Structures are given as structure tokens and as C-alpha cells.
């Protein structure tokens, strides 16, 4: 007897699971399935991404579903279109041996009329994103008065994405007598608030500790200067030739720039962000799931709800604003008992952000050194050798050419032939990484930030009382300099004035850039100053600027660097003929 039979599932469902390769239930499935089948109590379930939550709630719903009744009996809400589509497809697969089960998936970015037609045919189970679900309710096309089950999947994600009002509207039109099933990877206070407001004495189960990282994921960080962030990303890709991962960025612009640079530099990459149409998103995700892409560059919002197996790496190009978001990012690797690596590329200013993340995931970050040229070349070379050893030879296709090939190569000794073959593939790579510089940052914050050798210190006449914070100051600097790759050193925000350090090569440009500048209507005074030795401020030449200024956009925008990369138009570790940029 199947282990799924023992949980109370019918043979039709078990047969479908067998066809899909399900051998035994995961911990969250073992707990959730019998609980939902045997009880009408509400349920709060914690389980990390990739632990089988979809089956945990959909299988018992299918088991208890009234097939003869065409009214909507279950509404399943998920944060993104991709996840909603995936859940709908999974339920169709689970129910393929059941009669008269109709599942309709509703989400924005698709034809609403087609979705309405599907609802009118009768849909016992509706899977939807909050926004489109509310729209259909307002149009009176989705009726939830006979709902028996409400599922909030990835509840924390939906709240992070700002769907609280939508969830409130949906839950308010559902009947009082129903079973509410809340599944979440983390349980911040907002999720507990939803549970308190809309659930009655819920049973709570957990397949692991709340708000911690996946057991099989190791966490590493690379400490570099801001200007070396992108070159470090390239080296991490080069030292992992078989990488299959997601690079997370904080903004759409950053994701676009990083992806464009990787593509230009010959890496097998593409971007996923909010500016893409649904059709464009589908194409990118189809390529990534089929492993035609090795690297997907994405924002948190764009990647929410993605369910991709076998990821080897998650790389945080920039750390997220909230520690909970790091948990979601890192949870996309290390699934199904496999190992995964979550990497953070940080500079000295960001080092303090690691501690709250460590507290959240219950693990320590390991400081790794950015790989050097010799290490990368060695890894690439032996990856090539392994591929040669494992390549399948199609005798039928190449046999017509073999006699001529043997004749042309007959005077070359086998060892010499191997050397020449490897050199053809590898010379460009060796040349690119010859004398590659050390990209590792200085682990001593004070030594790095305050070095008179590298930075010029400035005074600016705004501070905390003006609403200034480090992010706004960095945004102000970037906007006026019109450059995103200038390294900013130490920042001190005081009550009525502040100090900041800039790469000394841009000292004169800073003075020019802030001419005729203001901040929230206040004229700015900027001057070069020196680090005080015993207190007080010793200033240099002062410049006062007027008010003819463009509007200010606060926040650090990051850099849009354009480093090079090892060009490759073919799959695999090698190919092409170009290396450019920082090594």
C-alpha cells in the first residue's frame, strides 16, 4: 500500500501521484493531509519553499470535494501569476483520474473574458492572484458564497507585496462556516494578524522551525568594494561553470543593467522584472526552467512565487531590505534534500546587515575569498576535461570525415595533440585571467573608509533635522554626479549637518555637480574638509550654491558598471574569443 493511501487519500489520487513520481509524503504533507481530511478546523502551517506545500493543501481538498456540485468550493490565493498557474496545473495533474473536477486559474496580465468563460462553465476550484480575484468578485463573475475552503498560500509573500486590502476584501465575502488554510514560509506579525482576524482557533503545525533558513543551504559572503561588485559576480559565475541560479537585485534598473552586462559579456543569462509583459515573462521562465538559461537576474517582486528545482546557487547582488526576504531568496535553493549555496556580495557598509539575517535564519555566514585567476582557470580547465570524458560520440555522423582527419593529424603525437586541443579552447581564458587583480575588500572598516589616500571628505549643511539619512544622501550624490560607479566612503549624519567621503578622483566633480543645488527647498553648502584629529571641524575652501536645481530622488541607485566577461556563444564552459573588463 502506498504511503499516501495511509494518509487517507483515494486510490484515484494515489495513482496520479504515482504517475508523477511521488514516492513518499514530505513532512508537511504527512501532517497537513490527515489534519485537513479528518477535521474542519482552520489550519496555520509553516513550511519552507520547496517542501511540497501545494500537495499538502490541494490533495485533501480534492479528497473531500463534491464532484457533482459545479459551484466554486475552494479558492486558493497565491502572490504571483507564475505560482497561481503552477498550482492550477498541479491540481489538474493530481485529479486526472477523478471525474468532473474543473480547475480555473485567474490572474492579471491575461484575457479576463476567457477566465470569466471558464468560471461560467463551473469551477469547483479557483486558483487566483488577489488583484484579479477581487476584480472578478466586483464584476459578480466569481461567487464565493458556497466556499468550503480558503487557502492562503505564501501568505507572508502576499502581505509583503501589499495585498492586505485585497485579502481583506476577499475574505469578507466568504461564508463564516468554512475551513481556512494558511500556509507560509515565515510568520511575521502581519501574518499572525490575518490569522487572528479571519481564523477561528486554528490548529498550528510546522515542518521545521519558523523563520529560519533551509537546512541544506550554506550561506557565504564576499567582501568587496562597490566598484568590484559586478566583476566579483562574473568570477563567481566563472568558478562555477555549471551554475544554475538566480541573481537577486534590489531594483528593476539594477536587474536590467546586471543582466544586460552579463549577456554582453557572454554569459548565458536573462532578466525577470516588473517591466516585462506576461508573454515576455513566460518566455524567460520557460527558458530558465528548461535550463536553456544558467543565470536568471531578478528582483524580489518579479521572482516571488517562482518554483524551480535544482538551483545550485542564489546570489544576492545586493542584500534585501528585510531579513525575511533573504529567507525567501535563499529558500529557492537546497530543495528536496539537495545542497544549495546562498551568496551575498557586500561592501563594508553592508556588513552590519548580516547579523539580523543570521539571527533570522539561525546560521552564520562564512566569509569567502573572491576566487583568483589561477583558481578559476583550473576549475574551468578540469570542467572541460570532464565534459570531454563524458561526451557521447555519434559515429554515424562523424565517420565520413574521420579518414581525412586522421590523415591530417597523423604526424602529431597523442600528447601533443591533447595540448594543442586544450590550448585552442583555453588560451583566451588563460590570457584574460593572467595577472588578475585581487578583488577582495579590506575587512577593516575604518582603514578602508577613512584612508586619506583613497577618499576626499566633504561637509554638507543638512542633517537629521532636514530628514536626511545615509540612503538619501547617497541618492543625492549619485543624482548630482550623474554617475553610479563612484565609490562612497564613510557617511556621518549629524543633527544639522553631515560628512561624506568620495573617491578622491572625483573631488573636483563633486564641487561642480552640487552647483545650484538644493534639498527640499534649502540651498546647499558643500565644502572639502578634513578628518578632525581631536574634535571640531576644520574646513577647507567653501562653496555656496543657489537653487536652480532638478528635482531630487532619494535613495542610493547603485552602479551600472559595464565590466567585461568571457565571451561564449556556445553552451558549456568555453568558446568565443573575447575577454574584457576587470578580471
The pLDDT score that the predictor gives to residue 349 is 84
Higher pLDDT, 180 or 559: 180
The phi, psi pair for 180, rounded to 5°, reads -100, 125
Is residue 1 within 8 A of residue 10, CB to CB? The reply is: no
Q: Select from 155, 201, 162, 158 the least CA-distant residue to 182.
A: 155
Look up the pTM and report it. 0.57
**Structure confidence at residue 427 (pLDDT):** 75
Task: Give how far Cα 450 sits from Cα of 171, 248, 350, Å.
Answer: 55, 30, 16
| pLDDT for residue 507 is more than 90 | no
- Does residue 433 register a pLDDT over 70? yes
**Residue keyed to cell 501545494:** 54
Give pLDDT tens digits for 219-254: 999 999 989 999 999 999 999 999 999 999 988 889
Write the pLDDT tens digit of every residue in 58-76.
Answer: 999 999 999 889 999 999 9
Please state, in angstroms and rounded to a whole number, the distance separating the CA atoms of residues 107 and 88: 11
Ranges 381-390, 491-500, 546-555: which has the least confidence: 546-555
Q: What is the pLDDT of residue 50?
A: 67
Grid coordinates representing 380? 574551468
* Alpha-carbon gap, residue 500 to 497, rounded angstroms: 10
**DSSP H stretches of helix in 121-203:** 130-138, 155-160, 164-172, 189-198
3.50.50.60, 3.40.50.300, 1.20.210.10, 3.40.50.980: which CATH number matches 5-206?
A: 3.40.50.300
Written out in words, the top-level CATH class of the domain with range 214-441 is alpha beta
Residue 545 has pLDDT above 60, yes or no: no
Query: What's the rounded Cα separation, in Å, for the pair 271 and 547?
Result: 39
Asked if residue 218 has pLDDT above 70, the reply is yes
Query: Other CB atoms closer than 10 Å to residue 430's CB: what's the count?
Result: 15
DSSP assignment string, 183-217:
EES---HHHHHHHHHH-SS-EEEESS-TT---TTE
pLDDT of residue 49: 66
- More confident position, 188 or 435: 435
Per-residue confidence (pLDDT) for residue 518, from 0 to 100: 85
Q: What is the pLDDT of residue 577?
A: 36
Q: Is 222 helix (H, G, I), strand (E, B) or coil?
A: strand
Contact 183, 151 (CB under 8 A): yes
Look at 48 and 433; give whichever has higher pLDDT. 433
**Residue pLDDT, tens place only, 141-186:** 999 998 999 999 988 778 777 788 899 899 999 998 999 999 887 7
Q: Do the first three CATH levels of 214-441 and 445-544 match, i.e. the same topology?
A: no
CA-angle at 50, arms to 161 and 343, nearest 5°? 75
Question: What average pLDDT does range 376-403 have in this prediction?
Answer: 86
Task: Compute the average pLDDT of residues 436-454.
Answer: 61
Integer angstrom CA distances of residue 47 from 134, 150, 156, 339, 514 = 27, 18, 12, 18, 51
**Local confidence band at 77 (pLDDT 50, 70, 90 cut-offs):** very high
Is a pLDDT exceeding 70 seen at residue 424?
yes
Is residue 319 within 8 Å of residue 36, measured between CB atoms?
Answer: no
For the chain, state the CA radius of gyration. Answer: 28
pLDDT band at 536 (very low <50, low <70, confident <90, very high): very low
Query: What pLDDT sits at residue 117?
Result: 94
The pLDDT tens digits for 330-345 are 888 876 667 899 999 9
Q: Which three cell numbers stand for residue 500?
A: 561624506
- The ranges assigned to domains in the chain are 5-206, 214-441, 445-544
Dihedral sign computed on CA atoms, order 402, 408, 412, 417: negative
- Fold of the CATH domain 445-544: Alpha-Beta Plaits (3.30.70)
CA distance 146 to 565: 58
Could you tell me what percent of the chain has a pLDDT over 70?
A: 84
Which tens digits make up the pLDDT trace of 478-493? 888 876 667 777 888 8
What band does 578 get if pLDDT is binned at 50, 70 and 90? Answer: very low
Q: For the packed helices 53-64 and 27-38, what is the interaxial angle rounded to 10 degrees?
A: 20
Structure confidence at residue 442 (pLDDT):
56
What's the chain's average pLDDT?
Answer: 82
Cell readout for 92 is 489538474
Q: What's the burial of 544, exposed, middle or buried (CB within 10 Å: 0-12/13-18/19+)?
A: exposed
Closest CA to 245 of 302, 340, 314: 314
Amino acid at each position: 500500500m502506498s504511503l499516501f493511501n495511509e494518509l487517507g487519500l483515494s486510490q484515484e489520487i494515489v495513482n496520479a501521484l504515482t504517475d508523477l513520481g511521488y514516492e513518499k509524503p514530505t513532512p508537511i504533507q504527512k501532517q497537513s493531509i490527515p489534519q485537513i481530511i479528518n477535521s474542519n478546523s482552520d489550519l496555520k502551517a509553516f513550511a519552507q519553499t520547496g517542501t511540497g506545500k501545494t500537495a499538502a493543501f490541494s490533495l485533501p481538498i480534492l479528497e473531500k470535494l463534491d464532484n457533482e456540485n459545479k459551484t466554486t468550493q475552494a479558492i486558493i490565493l497565491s502572490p504571483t501569476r507564475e505560482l497561481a498557474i503552477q498550482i492550477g496545473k498541479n491540481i489538474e495533474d493530481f485529479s486526472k483520474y477523478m471525474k468532473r473536477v474543473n480547475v480555473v486559474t485567474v490572474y492579471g496580465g491575461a484575457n479576463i473574458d476567457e477566465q470569466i468563460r471558464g468560471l461560467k462553465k463551473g469551477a469547483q476550484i479557483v486558483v487566483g492572484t488577489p488583484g484579479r480575484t477581487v476584480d472578478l468578485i466586483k464584476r459578480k463573475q466569481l461567487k464565493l458564497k458556497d466556499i468550503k475552503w480558503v487557502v492562503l498560500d505564501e501568505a507572508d509573500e502576499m502581505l509583503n507585496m501589499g495585498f492586505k486590502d485585497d485579502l481583506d476584501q476577499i475574505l469578507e465575502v466568504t461564508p463564516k462556516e468554512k475551513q481556512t488554510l494558511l500556509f507560509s514560509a515565515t510568520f511575521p506579525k502581519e501574518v499572525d494578524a490575518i490569522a487572528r482576524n479571519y481564523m477561528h482557533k486554528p490548529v498550528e503545525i510546522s515542518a521545521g522551525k519558523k523563520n529560519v533558513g533551509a537546512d541544506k543551504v550554506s550561506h557565504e559572503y564576499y567582501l568587496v568594494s562597490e566598484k568590484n561588485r559586478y566583476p566579483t559576480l562574473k568570477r563567481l559565475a566563472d568558478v562555477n561553470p555549471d551554475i544554475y541560479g538566480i541573481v537577486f537585485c534590489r531594483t528593476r534598473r539594477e536587474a536590467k543593467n546586471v543582466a544586460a552586462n552579463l549577456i554582453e559579456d557572454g554569459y548565458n543569462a536573462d532578466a525577470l522584472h516588473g517591466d516585462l509583459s506576461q508573454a515576455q515573462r513566460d518566455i524567460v521562465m520557460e527558458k530558465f526552467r528548461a535550463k536553456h538559461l544558467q543565470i536568471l537576474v531578478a528582483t524580489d517582486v518579479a521572482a516571488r512565487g517562482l518554483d524551480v528545482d535544482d538551483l545550485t546557487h542564489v546570489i544576492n547582488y545586493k542584500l534585501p531590505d528585510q531579513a525575511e526576504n533573504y529567507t525567501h531568496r535563499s529558500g529557492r535553493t537546497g530543495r528536496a534534500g539537495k545542497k544549495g549555496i546562498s551568496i551575498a556580495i557586500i561592501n563594508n557598509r553592508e556588513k552590519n546587515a548580516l547579523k539580523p539575517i543570521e539571527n533570522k535564519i539561525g546560521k552564520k555566514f562564512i566569509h569567502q575569498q573572491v576566487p583568483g585567476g589561477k583558481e578559476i582557470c583550473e576549475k574551468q580547465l578540469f570542467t572541460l576535461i570532464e565534459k570531454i570524458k563524458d561526451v557521447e560520440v555519434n559515429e554515424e555522423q562523424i565517420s565520413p570525415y574521420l579518414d581525412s582527419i586522421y590523415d591530417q593529424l597523423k604526424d602529431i603525437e597523442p600528447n601533443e595533440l591533447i595540448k594543442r586541443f586544450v590550448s585552442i579552447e583555453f588560451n583566451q581564458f588563460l590570457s584574460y585571467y593572467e595577472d588578475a587583480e585581487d578583488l577582495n575588500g579590506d575587512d577593516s572598516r575604518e582603514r578602508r573608509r577613512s584612508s586619506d589616500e583613497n577618499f576626499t571628505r566633504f561637509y554638507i549643511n543638512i542633517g537629521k533635522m532636514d530628514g536626511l539619512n545615509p540612503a538619501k544622501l547617497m541618492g543625492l550624490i549619485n543624482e548630482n554626479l550623474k554617475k553610479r560607479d563612484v565609490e562612497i566612503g564613510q557617511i556621518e549624519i549629524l543633527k544639522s549637518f553631515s560628512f561624506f567621503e568620495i573617491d578622491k578622483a572625483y573631488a573636483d566633480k563633486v564641487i561642480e555637480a552640487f552647483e545650484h543645488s538644493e534639498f527640499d527647498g534649502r540651498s546647499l553648502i558643500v565644502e572639502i574638509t578634513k578628518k578632525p584629529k581631536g574634535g571640531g571641524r576644520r574646513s577647507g575652501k567653501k562653496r555656496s550654491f543657489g537653487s536652480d536645481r532638478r528635482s531630487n530622488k532619494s535613495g542610493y541607485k547603485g552602479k551600472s558598471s559595464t565590466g567585461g566577461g568571457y565571451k561564449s556563444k556556445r553552451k558549456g564552459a568555453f568558446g568565443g574569443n573575447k575577454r574584457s573588463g576587470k578580471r
